[in-house]
A and B are shown apart, each in its own frame.
Chain A
Amino acid sequence: MVDLCTTLCGIELDNPVIPASGTFGYGREFADLYDINMLGTFSFKGTTKDPRFGNPTPRIAETSSGMLNAVGLQNPGVDKVISEELPALAKVFHKPVMANVSGFSVEDYVYTCEKLDKEPQVGWLEVNISCPNVHGGGMSFGTDPKAAAEVTAAVKKVTTKPVIMKLTPNVTDIVSVATACEDAGADGISLINTLLGMRIDLKTRRPLLANNTGGLSGPAVFPVALRMVWQVAKAVKIPVVGMGGVSTAKDVIEMMMAGACAVEVGAANLVDPFACRKIIEALPAEMEKLGIERLSDIIGAAL
């Protein structure tokens, strides 16, 4: 029997597999398909202070081994998430959930985090300072170490729950942003959000996405994500959650060897709704092949 357990900021997970924010809604669609209690946890849809429709459509474009999205943080707003989504979730999911929060000002982040902090099922706050698809806020906080530290420190003041800062790869020096968050009191770092990209329709000669640009995800970004997780894990002492193009049990193991104590799975859920279940089910056999008894033993093996 192999051991899949891992720990994320003091909370034990049955396994390291976490569906990433924006690919799993608030869990409902997937709870209809399989028992989502088999997951380590999941990170719910990026939630903001006010309801948001997001960007005009088309919001999705295909790429080689991946996809672009420019959804633009569509969500019902924190009040409705608390009054409708979380009670519905509690009926089907019995573990701590990761609350993903986004904002357009430091005050926005504080407001939303303070509200979600009072929710008993919220285990961690994952603060998204990395959305490439909104104008003003979002990624602009994650591209500047000072602004990233400012959000971190402000959010830390209003919550007792672990704060995980979610970083953007669209920077020249990811380590400086990660260490700024750590110094400002972050309990963990998660990375990477999507890489900024675009496609053009050859017939219309116009960008495929209504937003012109979008975030690239899927297997195409895995090596970039792995490299950044490795760089950050080497530089910080706090836990690192790795994500970016993870699609298989082998990818999960590779991310953990790069220093991730847990691994988020994003785009894979959209092309195969059973992706996370399949990954979790495939992990024991992959571990046995590699002679791994306890998954937590390999965290940072490649550092």
Chain B
Amino acid sequence: MKQTTFTIEQNKELAANAYEMVLAGDTSAITRPGQFVNISLPGRYLRRPISVCDCEPGRLTLIYKVLGEGTEQMTHMHPGTELDVLTGLGNGFDTSRAGKYPLIIGGGIGIPPLYWLAKDLIGDGRIERCMNVVLGFNTASEIFFMEEFLDLGCSVTVTTVDGSYGIKGYVTTPVNELTYTEYYACGPMPMLKAVKKALTGRGQLSLEERMGCGFGACMGCSIKTKDGYKRVCKDGPVFDKEELPW
């Protein structure tokens, strides 16, 4: 973990309620896809934990959804603004277990960390076939990053709850037809539970929980696992499916 100052380079709306923020600063503590950063906002006491969507030396991309006053405040921030950021938080995905044809499953604002994961897995050169990516949204206007996954060379399937784009329904509809060596999933809790139930193979799930500190000190985000109590922020947010009791 590192505490550093980042400068906003870009902050724009991507889709309904979803914004992309590009930041410049010291990214050296960010080592794995699936990690997150914790941002201090002027006038707000607690930091805002946001997953890393993409990262290269000196440059960080975040995608956030407007959910409350803090994220609303973020939408009004201009390029040049400096932010106090804790970086390199959380364990991140284990890419060594991906195998030859991993499957990526994302729901809504759970999708961003999977983009860097996909990029990393493909860049690794070990993937043997076109990587399957399933993205779930509520409705067509909320779709983001489909093109970016296509540009990586992924085979992308989109589902929408209202059927306004792609397959009508949830991500669990198409995933049953796909074969995979390891699945990686991130999204809302009901989606993660449904995915875990639907898929019998190996997998890793990235969880979300309301956090206090984001680095393991306050016990605000604890969950029960088969292996005892774990902190989503420090022991997670990525958990092996076998660890999760539900």
Contacts and interface: CB of A to CB of B under 8 A. Distances in A.
From B1, B40, B218, B223, residue with most partner A Cβ within 10 Å: B218
Contacts of B209: 57-58
B217 A23 contact: yes
B212 A270 contact: yes
B5 to A, nearest CB: 13
B86 interface: yes
Contacts of B234: 29
Interface string B209-228: 11111011111111110000
B126 to A, nearest CB: 31
Contacts of B222: 53-54, 57, 59, 71, 74
Interface in A31-68: 32-33, 45, 53-54, 57-67
Interface in A250-278: 267, 269-274
A300 interface: no
Contacts of A272: 3
B229 interface: yes
Interface in B135-166: none
A69 B86 CA distance: 21
B122 to A, nearest CB: 32
Interface residues of B, number: 26
Nearest to A53: B229
Nearest to A58: B210
A47 to B, nearest CB: 13
A69 B213 CA distance: 11
A273 B213 contact: yes
B194 interface: no
Contacts, number: 89
B1 A25 contact: no
B210 A60 contact: yes
Interface in B1-33: 1, 3
Interface stretch (B44-52, B54-62, B72-80): B44-52
A67 B46 contact: yes
Contact of A271 (B1, B46, B70, B220): B46
B219 A74 contact: yes
B217 A270 contact: yes
A272 B221 CA distance: 17
B217 A25 contact: yes
A60 B218 contact: yes
B218 A23 contact: yes
Nearest to A272: B3
Contact of A53 (B3, B86, B218, B224): B224
A270 B223 contact: no
B46 to A, nearest CB: 5
A284 interface: no
Contact of A29 (B46, B217, B220, B224): B217
B219 A271 contact: no
A38 B216 CA distance: 21
Contacts of B223: 57
Given A53-B222, A59-B220, A63-B45, A273 B3 contact: yes
Given A29-B234, A60-B46, A271 B217 contact: no
Interface of B: 1, 3, 40, 44-47, 70, 86, 209-213, 215-224, 229, 234
Given A23-B218, A54-B219, 10 more contacts: A29-B216, A59-B212, A59-B219, A67-B45, A69-B218, A71-B218, A74-B222, A269-B217, A270-B212, A271-B47
